[in-house]
Amino acid sequence: MQALAKKPFPVVIDLLSSTHATSSLLSQLPQSQGQGIAVELRDRRHFSRRFRDKRANITQVEGDLTLPRVWEEISSLLDGRKADLVMERGNGALAHLPKDERLYRVFLSKIWDMLSSDGGMFIGHLPYVDSWKAAGISWEQIQDWISNLNSNAIPSLMEKHGKYNYVLRIVKAPQSPEKLPSFP
């Protein structure tokens, strides 16, 4: 939050969620302007929420992240800007994604490309361990990948969150590589 408070025009994206968290976060910042984008399968906002979001420069993208159209709409809304924070808290939704290592790579690569190289951060739930295994990804591969990120100037951390969940944090620094290293 402190890092976002220092940005002249903070850009926040929330994947697999409504606009509530993005709106709440941006409203706590001292800046009068910023941009929020939230992605959810269906836009279920009440008309009053839609009005408030529009006034606060927050957009709800309706759609499935497995569809290129959704990523294109996010890119269009960013209009050349980069995100200071990308959040993903779609724990339940992750269980419904295809268990495919390539899909996880594509998602992480797209998120990495959206991040600002000036400390842009991704914080997100990882699929359940059983989903990794079903996708052919071992716990050791995940740990090796985190080590690889850290050794490539990409500050990264994975923490257990609850009984079955893990949260991944990745920061894109000025010295970070242009492309995100993929799984080992």
Domain count, the chain: 1
What's the first-to-final CA gap in the chain, in angstroms? 32
Whether 45 maps to a domain, the answer reads yes
CATH code for position 107: 3.40.50.150
Q: Tell whether pTM > 0.85.
A: yes
Torsion angle in degrees (nearest 10) through CA of 171, 173, 179, 184: -50
pLDDT in tens, 123-175: 988 776 677 777 788 888 888 999 999 999 999 998 887 776 788 999 999 99
In which domain, by residue range, is 122 found?
2-172
Whether 181 maps to a domain, the answer reads no
pLDDT in tens, 29-87: 888 789 999 999 899 889 999 999 999 999 999 999 989 999 999 999 999 999 999 99
State both tokens at 20.
Answer: 């509530």
Q: Are 77 and 44 in contact (CB under 8 A)?
A: no
